[in-house]
Structure formats: structure tokens, C-alpha cells
Amino acid sequence: MPQKKKKVGQRSLFLLLLLTAVIASVVVIFILRGRPLSEAAKGGGGKPAQSPASIVLNQTNVHLGDTVTFTTSGGSRIALACYQGGLNMVYSADQATGTSFLLGGTSSKWLSSGGEALCYAWLYARDLSKGFLASTSFTAAGAR
């Protein structure tokens, strides 16, 4: 009899793990699609679909010391960070959408060290209630 009990326990554990995996997958899918779970539960009766948020760098061939701007939709703030050699952050700024960024700012590690940097820009709502809405990255060369 103990053998049968063990098999039933293993089967229950397997079904529990399977159910957990399915639920986790559904949650991840809705998060990645940017749709709240409460809205998903309504089926087709939720709000009309909105265009996805986006952020695009307006310039090409940018360098340290250049001013850059972004075309955005769906957010109110932009966080910009530039890195050299992997995780060495050499510049960061956070500003409202529609404003320009001076790469390297007026005082930063990047201005001191010069050289190329990999930059990331994240679009978000002012209160961060929806997390980061969109992102882009670009490489900025050293000063001209």
C-alpha cells in the first residue's frame, strides 16, 4: 500500500508543478504584452488597444558632447545611461520627454575619460507605475 500512496503523491506534485508553470506562463505573456491581468479577465470587454510605447533616437553618428533628442510615444520621462567596458556607467541623466540630452553632460566620468560608450534610453511614465515602457540603445563615439 505505501507504494501506491507514493505514486499518488508524485502525481499530485507533478500536477501542481504543471499548473504552476501554466499560470506563470500566462502571467508572463500578459506582462510582455503590456496588458493588466484584470483587463485580461474581462475578455474582449476591456479598453480599446493602445499603440505600444516607443522611443527612437533622432540623430545618427552621435559623439560625446553632442546634443541628442528622442521621438517618443506613451511615456513622460526618459532615463539615459552610457557605459564603457561593460558595467562601468560613465554618464546618466533623467529628463522629461521632448527635451534634449547633452551626451556626457557638463561633468561626468565620460567627459574625463573620453572614448566610445554604449548608451541605453528607457521611456517610462512619471510615477513608474507601469515600469519601463520602451527602450533603445546606441553607440556614441568619443568627442569630435
DSSP notation for 31-90:
HHTT--HHHHTTGGGSPPPPPPPEEEE--SS-BTT-EE-EEEES-SEEEEEEEETTTEEE
Q: How confident is the model at residue 129 (pLDDT cuts 50, 70, 90)?
A: confident
> Tens digit of pLDDT for each residue in 69-128?
999 999 999 999 999 999 999 999 999 999 999 999 999 999 999 999 999 999 999 877
pTM equals 0.65
Q: Mean of the per-residue pLDDT values for the chain?
A: 78
> Tens digit of pLDDT for each residue in 26-63?
333 333 444 444 443 444 444 545 678 999 999 999 99
Q: How confident is the model at residue 144 (pLDDT cuts 50, 70, 90)?
A: very high
Residue 11 has pLDDT above 80, yes or no: no
Q: Are 80 and 94 in contact (CB under 8 A)?
A: yes
Q: Which three cell numbers stand for residue 28?
A: 508572463
Contacts of 4 (CB under 8 A, 6+ apart): none
Q: Which three cell numbers stand for residue 133?
A: 515602457
What pLDDT score does 128 carry? Answer: 78
How big is the chain, counted in residues?
144
